[in-house]
C-alpha cells in the first residue's frame, strides 16, 4: 500500500489555520455568483476553472453588470498580475519538476501556497518540494471548492429581497484593510478607491472602473515607495 509522503502531510498541517479564512471567502464567492445570475452548475464550473479568489469575485461582479468579455478578462489579469511575480520567484525551486507537475503547480498557485512553500524551502533543503507544495495548495483548492459549492446552494435558496449584493464588496474590504501595512500600500488603497469612485461617477463606459483604479492605485503606491515612503 503506497504511503503518503511526510512532506505532503506537513503542507496540509501548516496550511490548516488558513482554511478558516478561506471558508467564508468561498461561501461569499458562491453566493455572489448565484446572486449575479449564474446557475449553480455555472457557479461551480466557474470556480473550478478560474480558482482565483479576489479576481473571481471581480469577474462575477462584472458579469452581473453585463460588462464586455474583454473587460472581464482584462480585470482578472490586472488583479492577478502578482501571480506572475510569484511564479518567477518560486520557479527556481520547481526547475527539476516534470512538465505535468509544473502545470499542476501553476494552476494551484495562490498567495498562501506561495508564501508557505517559499518559507519551507528556505528553511529545509531536504524537503520534497512538490509533495509539500501539493499538500498546501491542493488542500486549499479542496476547501475553496467545497466552500463555493456550499455558497452556491445557499445563494440559490436565499430570497431575492434579502439583497446579498453587498457580500462581495465587504469581502474586498476585509482583504484590503490588513494589507495597508505602510505608507505606500495605504496610498495605493486610498488613491485606487478614490479613482474608482470618480470613474463610476464620471460614467466611463465598459465598466473600466476596476482596471483604471487598479492601475492608478498601483502607480501611486510605487511612486510613494520610490520616494522612501515605506515607513
pTM: 0.75
HEC letters along 53-102: CHHHHHHHHHHHCCCCHHHHHHHHHHHCCHHHHHHHHHHHHHCCCCHHHH
| pLDDT at residue number 169 | 59
Contact in structure between 199 and 151 (CB atoms under 8 Å): no
Q: Which three cell numbers stand for residue 213?
A: 483604479
Q: Are 42 and 102 within one domain?
A: yes
Q: Would residue 77 count as lying in a domain? A: yes
Q: How many domains does the chain have?
A: 2
Q: Would residue 169 count as lying in a domain? A: no
Q: Are 49 and 142 within one domain?
A: yes
**Which of these, 154, 140, 189, 167, lies nearest to 21 by C-alpha position?**
140
Contact in structure between 135 and 12 (CB atoms under 8 Å): yes
Q: Are 128 and 16 within one domain?
A: yes
Q: Are 32 and 108 within one domain?
A: yes
Q: Would residue 174 count as lying in a domain? A: no
Q: Which residues constitute the domain of residue 226? A: 179-230
**Which of these, 51, 57, 129, 59, lies nearest to 91 by C-alpha position?**
129
Number of residues written out for the chain: 231
Give the highest mean pLDDT range of 19-28, 157-166, 208-217.
Answer: 19-28
Q: Would residue 170 count as lying in a domain? A: no
CA dist 68 and 157 (Å) reads: 29
Q: Are 143 and 205 within one domain?
A: no
- pLDDT tens digit sequence for 168-225: 555 556 656 666 778 888 888 888 788 877 876 777 766 676 777 778 888 888 888 8
Q: Would residue 137 count as lying in a domain? A: yes
Could you tell me what percentage of the chain is helix, strand and coil, using 3-state DSSP and rounding each to the nearest 5? 80, 0, 20
Q: Are 38 and 97 within one domain?
A: yes
- pLDDT tens digit sequence for 63-114: 887 888 888 888 888 888 888 888 999 999 999 999 999 999 999 999 889 9
Q: Looking at residues 146-169, what average pLDDT do you find?
A: 71
Q: Are 76 and 188 within one domain?
A: no
Contact in structure between 9 and 135 (CB atoms under 8 Å): yes
Q: Are 115 and 226 within one domain?
A: no
Q: Give the residue from 135, 163, 191 where a domain finishes.
A: 163
Q: Would residue 11 count as lying in a domain? A: yes
| pLDDT at residue number 140 | 94
Q: Are 63 and 94 within one domain?
A: yes
Q: Which three cell numbers stand for residue 82?
A: 502578482
Q: Are 158 and 118 within one domain?
A: yes
| pLDDT at residue number 1 | 54
Contact in structure between 28 and 165 (CB atoms under 8 Å): no
Amino acid at each position: 500500500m503506497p504511503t503518503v509522503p511526510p512532506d505532503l502531510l506537513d503542507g496540509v498541517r501548516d496550511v490548516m489555520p488558513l482554511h478558516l479564512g478561506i471558508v467564508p471567502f468561498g461561501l461569499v464567492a458562491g453566493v455572489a455568483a448565484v446572486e449575479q445570475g449564474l446557475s449553480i452548475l455555472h457557479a461551480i464550473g466557474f470556480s473550478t476553472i478560474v480558482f482565483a479568489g479576489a479576481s473571481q469575485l471581480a469577474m462575477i461582479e462584472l458579469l452581473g453588470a453585463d460588462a464586455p468579455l474583454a473587460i472581464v478578462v482584462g480585470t482578472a489579469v490586472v488583479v492577478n498580475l502578482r501571480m506572475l511575480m510569484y511564479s518567477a520567484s518560486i520557479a527556481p525551486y520547481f526547475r527539476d519538476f516534470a512538465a505535468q507537475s509544473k502545470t499542476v503547480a501553476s494552476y494551484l498557485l495562490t498567495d498562501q501556497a506561495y508564501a508557505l512553500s517559499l518559507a519551507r524551502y528556505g528553511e529545509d533543503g531536504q524537503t520534497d518540494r512538490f509533495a509539500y507544495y501539493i499538500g498546501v495548495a491542493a488542500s486549499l483548492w479542496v476547501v475553496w471548492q467545497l466552500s463555493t459549492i456550499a455558497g452556491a446552494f445557499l445563494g440559490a435558496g436565499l430570497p431575492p429581497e434579502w439583497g446579498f449584493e453587498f457580500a462581495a464588496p465587504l469581502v474586498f474590504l476585509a482583504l484590503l484593510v490588513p494589507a495597508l501595512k505602510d505608507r505606500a500600500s495605504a496610498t495605493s488603497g486610498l488613491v485606487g478607491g478614490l479613482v474608482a469612485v470618480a470613474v463610476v461617477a464620471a460614467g466611463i463606459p465598459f465598466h473600466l472602473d476596476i482596471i483604471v483604479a487598479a492601475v492608478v492605485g498601483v502607480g501611486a503606491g510605487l511612486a510613494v515607495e520610490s520616494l522612501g515612503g515605506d515607513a
